[in-house]
Structure 1
């Protein structure tokens, strides 16, 4: 799928998710849930891919949590910085999202478990607060647990419907495109601070290419536009 087609499909899917949760979640808050779900899917697929190690006979999502030894867990955290049990993977949660009466609390427990898996490891500071903006128990999702779960399921199902293969195989920056689309459709008309400081992807890519010229690694990049574009992500792609 060409990048223009991928981007069009991404925008269509986000708009569909917005329709599913319309009237309950403010546009600015909606942005956090979509991006949070995208990130949850990304790290789940990335972690499963790491465990499987290109071995087609291994399907991490189908394994029982009980087969995970302390040695496997320790080694994975040292390498990836965090740990996700098979039952906690995005694919397994979204599978029963529509019928899970405790979806909102299950997600909260999973996010807490992923963050706490790094406790005592060098990655602890980086992982702490990873899902702070994805509040699954917030009344912004609805006044009842049923309402919260229905809207969370809609977001998860919508993100699961993005059929771009794996994230690394996508021709577009999923996070950047989703963020830019959400900013342009919600922040600009919502009176929220932050949207006016967004850096378009084209500018982020150009700055990243300039910063990476002749370099093999970088620590940080100064954004002269004072924006919130994903510069470090673009720089990593340029390596």
Structure 2
């Protein structure tokens, strides 16, 4: 149980005090992240599964995100598919922490479509995992899949760390050629007029035979 600011001693705890604020009582994710960071070796890496709300909510959580970004501790945020874990259908994220990064950029990977459906759940295949890991290692940035954001870019987004803020979704809607569509409509209307005229002639002949 995370006591948060109900326990006045916690704000002086060296694990949490650097951020200057405690994670909310009912949302302990960032408290666990700060705890993990405090025990991380200088050359170590921590990968923590998180609920997506901590990436964009305001208040104390935003201040902790700002501390993590300002001090260059967040290496990567990976958006996972929904319905991946037992007991929750929420699309979770992975936050990767490092104390000794090579630069001040943060990689955002949208792996929300990297899955195969198994009965009612989704599952990451070896190919899905390899695709994510290859992108994590190369840090190249791939359109509609990943983006390497610099510090100023994240600051301009008010320290919002949602992957969707940085990785543009691919537009899979069908592209319609308006000129071609109008030409087809005109052709249909013209054919319809010819049919009307032919029908009118047949009716006239029938009426003339009465």
Q: Give the TM bin, normalised by the shorter chain.
A: under 0.3
Q: TM-score, normalization: structure 2? A: 0.24
TM-score by length of 1: 0.22
Larger Rg: 2
Higher strand share: 2
Q: Which has the higher helix share?
A: 1
